[in-house]
């Protein structure tokens, strides 16, 4: 494996990926999630994409060897979207208001058809007169297509020591 780079451009297959393109992808995702446009958000995954949220004691374990908060395969992501759109998803009815900041985007490593990236996130969430802050890091594997990027693995790693009272992950982290 190659070492961490902070290149602004990497080549993946026959094309190049810039940090700006990755940033646009992440900003668009943040906007879709903050606006609860979950169907559009779901199209950002490639078929067979996964979504993971490790626990707060995470030390690099993958979801075959350790408990997680979320380890959704593609079908489960679809089920999650369907659930969150339902009025019967009581934990998100009414919806949380969220406000996401994404920064510190780094192109970590390029593969034959993917790019690995990391970014920091800060999400403010408001619900039931409570305000909660989620701080963490994204470590994503993005499939690079001619027309854009898609999630192969979307991993949100919380850096909090535990989930605070009221801070359950009923929304998309």
Q: Which chain residues interact with other proteins by CB under 8 A?
A: 53-59, 61, 63-73, 75-76, 79-80, 82-83, 86, 88-92, 128, 130, 161-170, 173
Of 76 and 102, nearer to other proteins (C-beta) is 76
Question: Could you tell me if 49 and 153 are in contact, meaning their C-beta atoms sit under 8 angstroms apart?
Answer: yes
The residue (of 79 and 122) whose beta carbon lies closer to other proteins is 79
Task: Work out how close the CB of 149 gets to other proteins at its nearest, in angstroms, rounded to a whole number.
Answer: 24
Q: How far is the CB of 124 from other proteins (least distance, A)?
A: 18
Of 156, 150, 115, 124, whose CA–CA distance to 138 is shortest? 156
For residues 39 and 32, give the distance between their C-alpha atoms in angstroms, rounded to a whole number. Answer: 9
Structural contact between residues 140 and 20, judged by C-beta atoms closer than 8 angstroms: no
| Whole-number CA gyration radius for the chain | 16
Taking the complex as a whole, the smallest distance from the CB of residue 121 to other proteins amounts, in Å, to 15
- CB atoms near residue 11 (< 10 Å): 12
> C-beta of 57: minimal distance to other proteins in Å?
5
Phi and psi at residue 37, to the nearest 5°: -90, 75
Residue number with CB closer to other proteins (51 or 149): 51
72 vs 139, which CB is nearer to other proteins? 72
């Amino acid at each position: 494996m190659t070492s961490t780079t902070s290149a602004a451009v990497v080549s993946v297959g026959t094309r190049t990926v810039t940090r700006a393109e990755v940033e646009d992808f992440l900003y668009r995702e943040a906007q879709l999630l903050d606006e609860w446009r979950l169907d559009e958000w779901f199209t950002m995954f490639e078929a067979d994409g996964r979504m993971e949220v490790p626990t707060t004691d995470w030390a690099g374990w993958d979801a075959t060897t350790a408990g997680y908060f979320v380890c959704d395969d593609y079908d489960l992501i679809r089920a999650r979207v369907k659930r969150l759109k339902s009025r019967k998803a009581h934990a998100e009815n009414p919806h949380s208001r969220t406000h996401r900041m994404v920064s510190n985007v780094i192109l970590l490593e390029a593969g034959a058809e993917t790019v690995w990236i990391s970014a920091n996130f800060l999400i403010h969430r408001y619900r039931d007169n409570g305000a909660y802050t989620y701080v963490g890091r994204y470590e994503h594997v993005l499939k690079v297509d001619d027309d854009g990027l898609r999630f192969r693995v979307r991993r949100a790693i919380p850096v909090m020591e535990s989930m605070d009272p009221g801070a359950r992950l009923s929304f998309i982290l």
